[in-house]
Structure 1
């Protein structure tokens, strides 16, 4: 639409500055048109521009997003009116937190129950540790006592018993020796008649008795050394070993019991942590129901439109609406740093690069001009919407460079028309783009020579949406027939016969322009095109209603860059 307006304006301008209308007196009425419009080739400055439309937005935009979880969404209780200018810390949105508060109460009960279970588990561990210490100490004492009993027997009881038995043996031996001496003495007395036979017999019995006592004492020592000692030591050693094994069992039982209670403690700790985490999360979700401004800005609702087949719209953000997790609610743009979000057609994007100057006009502020420069060119194209699904355009940002006071008065969402200055040629031959016809990758124009139309092949250069640079084939002052494809039917038919229609792809030789100095320099300024290396847009494709544009006309001529 912008192109049509520009073209229409261009035709009016051409008429105003002195279009030459040549009527049928120049031609045979049966062979030539009765009405032709001519425009003279002139020399002058030529600005190569791209004009597109876009929307004004902030280059620094904080998006306020709903962070409250829930598949069903959360209702908006209160929201600041759109367009309100807010300060950092102001309340922007309050979401419905009633259900979350109920969940918080229930979760608090569960958390306290988990805390009580954790406390019990901690006490159980302490009790088991004390019980383990007591059991192990008792078993250790038994081991020590068994070792002492064994040592007491070996070094005390046995030695004492052995000394007693050996003393008994000595006494028995003494008694036996005395009895034997008395018996021998009595026998000698009896032979001399001084003792009776009964006394001799009594002494003999006494000897036998003493001998028996001596034998018994020796046997008692033998039993002590060979049997009693071994049995007692074996029994005491077995007791010591058993008590040691009992100590090991006590230690193992203590470890097992403690491990069980420690496992219960860990489970209780984990349960408490989980329940506390749930409680903290619900508490945090309640806090997230109130959203505050992180910085100064102007409130803009994120009313992404959801349209049907006929494009019906429905606002998404309003009091009572439900928003889902991570759904944008408000954009808080910094109105001191604004840019235009425009889409550039793929046929022109190779000419656009960061740093190119641009002028901006807003529909809401007629007659006001703003200035800016290209700040970003997308590397990936965006597909068009239905029905133009094959349309390929590249998102481009044009940052406004006017004073902060001037820019801050603007509002995001305003419709803007941007004109990007690609190059500024100081003095070149030029003619209206509708003067040329492209055929087979070559360009032709019809000029009036001696009151006759003559076809000229022309080498063209760069162009904007109104004028085309002429590199070779025409001179200043040559008069060119306008819209020849519409009015010169026979000449066009002859051209199609003479020149084969071998048309190259309009984007076959497009290259992204290299960074260049500011416009206004020598030929081939911004965009890096060499002199005469501009595009060949071609002629008007179908008359005044379809003017050729930079980088593409009838037949899709190539553009430099």
Structure 2
């Protein structure tokens, strides 16, 4: 059994012992065991062990109305907490100055980007046509010119050969000089060189110039296409940014999605005011308002760590409101404690949800007192807690026998801070002394002995 009973009694009654210490020192036997004493008759019956906590009503099903505007935004107007609204009613207005500037800036960039995308689109078409223009135009024209030059060179070569042969025949007959023959030979050589040069130019055109020009044109086309893709992507992004700013401008006026009650979300325990108020700053996805389902109400209470292990879902709870009382059920108990700090007095508690029946008139924010029944004993032997004295080694009470208190060692069970179950050591109908430290010498001596033994 925990020593809390002893320590609680010691704390309260030790002062009383000290107050009467003078008289006890004068005569330790002066206490009259047969004097008047407060007693209690040991009886059987029922006993409930409960824990009582304060809480506030809330809904287990809330429609969250969130901020859809990025960044930090200032609230310039908010509807009053607890207002009944219709679908489409304005709930919150946010400052739009920065968003309007963003819309103007992003619209300008969207137009610039679109202009660049249109220009690069025309460049892609021009580069695509340039390839066909070369293959079907310039290349064919250059090839025909060279083939014409080749035909002329071949003709000149034949003419040079004929002229040389004629000069040689005439030279043999003495009609022309050797110099004239040499001139015709030089003309033949020149014609052969011109023919070979023309053939070489045709081969270079077909083998190299054409490939080089196509590579250049295709590379230029790819480069322009990449530039165009980048311009298109930039135009899309800038347009999306503009459209997003326009959409966020619309979200600066927050409206109700349905009719019902709207309330402010609960602020943190250490804050003095709600997060949603005129002049407050909110951010994207922050919950601005709640629309609770009033048919699904609950109470959240904090259960002290000393008894949290005894609380289980399904336990009965009695809920008291200012003008209403109802039976309820424990729905859940948190596995992690609430944050602690100076605002909680560093007391460790666990959130416990009490599910309420569907009753008209329940509203979020109502204060409630919740009594959770941790155990309900029937036909058990009980005595008042004030009749018990616990020491370091034993648990005692004093029973009136023939008008005098008799020391009795007992075994205890569960307690509800007023009564405690006696498992062994007492019988039904016996009279136990209440507050034995005030009336029984043996109790006072046992208490003093326990205090001495606990001193360092």
* Shorter-chain TM band: 0.7 to 0.9
Structure 1 residue matching 2:396: 3-state secondary structure: strand
Report whether the alignment pairs 1:369 with 2:325.
Answer: yes
From the superposition, tell whether residues 277 and 208 of structure 1 become closer, same or farther in structure 2 (CA, over 3 Å).
Answer: closer
Runs of 5+ in structure 2 lacking a partner? 1-28
Report whether the alignment pairs 1:283 with 2:246.
Answer: yes
Report whether the alignment pairs 1:97 with 2:96.
Answer: yes
- For these two proteins, the number of residue pairs brought into alignment is 423
From the superposition, tell whether residues 207 and 281 of structure 1 become closer, same or farther in structure 2 (CA, over 3 Å).
Answer: closer
Report whether the alignment pairs 1:250 with 2:213.
Answer: yes
Name the residue aligned to 2:39.
38
Deviations 1:4-59 (A, max 9, x none): xxxxxxxxxxxxxxxxxxxxxxxx86355965321122111222322222111111
Partner Cα distance (1:289, 1:133) in 2: 55
User: In structure 1, which of residues 352, 358, 381 is the aligned counterpart of residue 311 of structure 2?
Assistant: 352
Deviations 1:310-353 (A, max 9, x none): xxx445544x3333214433222111101110000001000011
From the superposition, tell whether residues 500 and 355 of structure 1 become closer, same or farther in structure 2 (CA, over 3 Å).
Answer: farther
User: In terms of Rg, which structure is larger?
Assistant: 1
Name the residue aligned to 1:379.
335
Q: Quote how far apart the aligned CAs of 1:278 are.
A: 2.0
From the superposition, tell whether residues 500 and 350 of structure 1 become closer, same or farther in structure 2 (CA, over 3 Å).
Answer: farther
The structure, 1 or 2, with the larger RCO (C-alpha pairs under 8 Å, 6+ apart) is 2
Partner Cα distance (2:159, 2:299) in 1: 117
Instruction: Indicate conservation of the 8 Å contact 2:75/2:92, yes or no.
Output: no
User: In structure 1, which of residues 270, 279, 282 is the aligned counterpart of residue 233 of structure 2?
Assistant: 270
From the superposition, tell whether residues 422 and 257 of structure 1 become closer, same or farther in structure 2 (CA, over 3 Å).
Answer: same
Q: How does 1:7-406 map to 2 (within 5 A)?
A: 30-32=31-33, 36-71=37-72, 73-77=73-77, 79-141=78-140, 144-145=143-144, 148=147, 209=173, 231-232=193-194, 234-244=196-206, 245-302=208-265, 304=267, 313-314=272-273, 316-318=275-277, 320-326=278-284, 327-362=286-321, 364-365=322-323, 368-386=324-342, 389-400=345-356, 402=357, 404=358, 406=359
Partner Cα distance (1:144, 1:211) in 2: 44
| RMSD over equivalenced CA pairs, Å | 3.9
Instruction: Indicate conservation of the 8 Å contact 1:356/1:421, yes or no.
Output: yes
Instruction: Indicate conservation of the 8 Å contact 2:31/2:439, yes or no.
Output: no
Partner Cα distance (1:207, 1:358) in 2: 142
From the superposition, tell whether residues 207 and 425 of structure 1 become closer, same or farther in structure 2 (CA, over 3 Å).
Answer: closer
Partner Cα distance (2:115, 2:385) in 1: 87
Structure 2 residue matching 1:36: 3-state secondary structure: coil
Instruction: Indicate conservation of the 8 Å contact 1:59/1:337, yes or no.
Output: yes
Name the residue aligned to 1:480.
432
Instruction: Indicate conservation of the 8 Å contact 2:164/2:184, yes or no.
Output: no
Partner Cα distance (1:305, 1:393) in 2: 16
Partner Cα distance (2:121, 2:441) in 1: 102
Instruction: Indicate conservation of the 8 Å contact 1:49/1:465, yes or no.
Output: no
Instruction: Indicate conservation of the 8 Å contact 2:399/2:408, yes or no.
Output: yes
Report whether the alignment pairs 1:428 with 2:427.
Answer: no
Runs of 5+ in structure 1 lacking a partner? 1-27, 173-205, 503-561
